[in-house]
Structure formats: structure tokens, C-alpha cells
Amino acid sequence: MDVRNAIKFMIISALAFACMNIIVKHLENVNSYQIVFFRSLGSLFFTFGYLIKNKIPFIGNKNKLLILRSLVGAASMVFFFMSLKYLSVGTAVSLRYIAPIFAAIFAVFILKEKIKPFQWVFFIVSFIGVLVLKGLDTQIDTLGLIYVLIAAILSGLVYIMINQIGQTEHPVVVVNYFMFTAMVLGAVLSIGNWVTPKGMEWPLLLGLGVFGYFGQIYMTKAFQTASTNIIAPLKYVEVVFSMLLGVALFNEVYTFWSILGILLIITGLILNVWYKGRLKQ
């Protein structure tokens, strides 16, 4: 277990995802469907290349589940990118990260798993953070909040589907299904809504897939290098990077209540990861 390298990988991943979020925020004149299309197209260049180079079959074993996971994941991506049109980047990212709460709830009903009482306490801490953001931060847009919560719920469902897929599929095959489905969905939804990108919007759109792919790759490397309970909390560094970039590039303002709400959300989620790690020891 190489913790130092794992931490480095996770920080690179968080920075890559933060850069992708910032690009989406910058592309305010391009609709979210096109952004999903280009983000997926860029990543497909890498996933197709990897599968061809390593002679890995494109078709998986659990095709119906792979397609369903891809559709739900693509819908989650659409709603998240839509939320960035209305919310500050750091707020949107932190709210999207409450997905594990919904995943735990889905697991109770679908997988018949049990949640320990302490986990519910940690989830409540995160949920209070959401209430603080919406109830006390007057900058929070209601429509943006609805979009990002839908994205988080769908992302939670994706976690359950990935659990069901298990080790039967190569990780790149799963990502490839997801990106291809998202590309098709983005293309179909863009019909009648197409806005022709101008100037620097073209390279920025193509850059989405690059940042998204490397964010995914380095996150995977991090989890493969060190234990989950050490690495998982570092995912939330993405929130910090996103906030700093939002302030620097878009002059975003975070009130006391927005920072408190984000801290409560992240604290509850990190405590849940830490507690789950202790249970496995």
C-alpha cells in the first residue's frame, strides 16, 4: 500500500474534475445537452483506444444492467451540468456529493443492507448542511438546487447498479458504456436545441472529455493503491478546488451560511467513510 502516491493520484483527480466543472460553468452560452455530448465524446476517444489497444471486448457480460447504469448515469450528468447554470461551482459539487446518502437508502430497500445507527447520525449532519444552504443562504437558486438533488439521487442509484455489476466487467468497459450512452443521449437531446460554439468554446468543449477521463483514471489508481477509508475522504478536495477556482475566475461569493452548509455536508460524508472503514477492520 503506497499511501503517498495514492494521495497524489487523488489530488490530481480532484483537480481534473474541478477544472472540468469550471469549464462547464464557463460555457454558459452552450446548452447542457451539448456539454454532455462533448464531454462524453472526448472521453470515448480514450476508452475506445484503451479497449482496442488491450484487445478487450467492447460488449460486456451484464449488458442490460450496463445499459441501465449508463442511462441513469447520463441523466445524472445532464442534471448536474444544468445545476451549474444556477449555482456556484463549490455549492453544486458539494450537493452532488450527498449521493452516498441516497445510495445507502437504496441499498436498504434493494440490497436489503442494514445501516448502522451512527451512519444515520452522519447522514443527518450532511442533510442539515443541505437545509442550511437552502434555508439560510439567500444566494441558493431553488431550480438549481432541485437539479443537483435529482443528479445526486440518480448518482446514488448508479452506485447500487455498480455494486450489482461487481467484478464481472472490466472498469473501462463500464466507463465506455457510460460515455457512449451519454454521448447518444446528449446528441438526441441537442436536436432542436443546438447552439453552435464560437471561438474558444470549441477547445473548451473538447477539453471536458480530457479532464473527465484523467479525473476518472487517477481516482481509480488512487483506490487501487491504498485502502478506501484513507482515500475516499480526499474526493472532497474537489469541492475546495472548485470553490477556489470559482472565486478566482467567476468572482463567486460564498457567505458564512454557504460555507457552513458545505462544511456540514462534507463532514457528515467523511465521518461516514471513516466509520465504515472502522467496521471493516
The answer to whether residue 28 is domain-embedded is no
Over its C-alpha atoms, the chain yields an Rg (Å, rounded) of 18
Q: Does residue 34 lie in a domain region? A: no
SS3 state at 277: helix
255 inside domain: yes
- Per-residue pLDDT, averaged over 42-69, amounts to 90
Separation CA 231–CA 208 (nearest Å): 24
Integer Cα distance of 214 and 207 in angstroms: 11
**C-alpha–C-alpha distance, residues 208 and 46, integer Å:** 13
CA distances from 270 to 26, 73, 202, 224, 266 (A): 29, 23, 37, 19, 6
Residue 48 inside a domain? The answer is: no
Phi, psi of 253 (to 5 degrees): -115, 130
In a domain? residue 50: no
Does 78 fall in a domain?
yes
Identity of residue 241: F
The boundaries of the domain holding residue 188 are 3-23+55-280
Angle between helix 99-106 and 142-165 (nearest 10): 50
Per-residue model confidence (pLDDT) at position 281: 61
Of 240, 242, 229, 243, nearest to 276 (Cα)? 229
Phi and psi angles of residue 194, each rounded to the nearest 5 degrees, phi first: -65, 130
CA 220 to chain centre: 13
Q: Is 118 a residue whose pLDDT tops 70? A: yes
- Which of 45-49, 148-152, 223-227 has maximum average pLDDT? 148-152
Residue 39 lies in a domain: no
- pLDDT tens across 162-211, in order? 888 877 788 888 889 999 999 999 999 999 888 888 889 999 998 999 99
pLDDT for the residue 201: 92
- The CA-atom distances, in angstroms, between 262 and each of 63, 115, 235, 236 are 37, 23, 14, 10
Whole-number Å distance between alpha carbons of 265 and 272:
11
Q: What one-letter code names the amino acid at 34? A: Q
Contact 111, 160 (CB under 8 A): yes
Distance (Å, rounded) from C-alpha 105 to C-alpha 94? 19
Residues 87 and 144 sit within 8 Å (Cβ to Cβ): yes
Q: Which residue has the cell 442533510?
A: 127
Provide the domain count of the chain.
1
Q: Tell me if residue 43 falls in helix, strand or coil.
A: helix
Instruction: Report if residue 184 sits inside a domain.
Output: yes
Continuous segment of H or E residues that includes residue 16: helix 3-26
The tens digit of pLDDT for each residue in 248-280 reads 999 998 889 999 999 999 999 988 888 877 776
